[in-house]
């Protein structure tokens, strides 16, 4: 029984690490998308100002 408990503990730790890594990856991806959107918006405003 103790062995099974240890295995469960290890599995839970690995699952938590995987979730944390996934969260970090998702956060970085979101930051990249937001940065690209901001750059696109800035470029559009510069074009609009140049045309006006």
Cα separations in angstroms, 16 against 5, 23, 24: 16, 10, 12
CA 15 to chain centre: 17
Residue 31 and residue 34: Cα distance in Å, rounded? 5
Cα separations in angstroms, 3 against 12, 25, 48: 14, 33, 67
pLDDT tens-digit series, residues 4-44: 566 677 888 899 999 999 999 999 999 999 999 999 999 99
Using the Cα atoms of residue 43, residue 44, residue 45 and residue 47 in order, give the sign of their dihedral. positive
Length of the chain: 52
pTM of the model: 0.64
């Amino acid at each position: 029984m103790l062995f099974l408990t240890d295995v469960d503990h290890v599995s839970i730790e690995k699952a938590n690490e995987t979730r944390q890594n996934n969260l970090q990856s998702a956060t970085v991806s979101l930051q990249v998308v937001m940065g690209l959107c901001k750059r696109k918006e800035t470029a559009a405003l510069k074009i609009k100002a140049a045309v006006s």
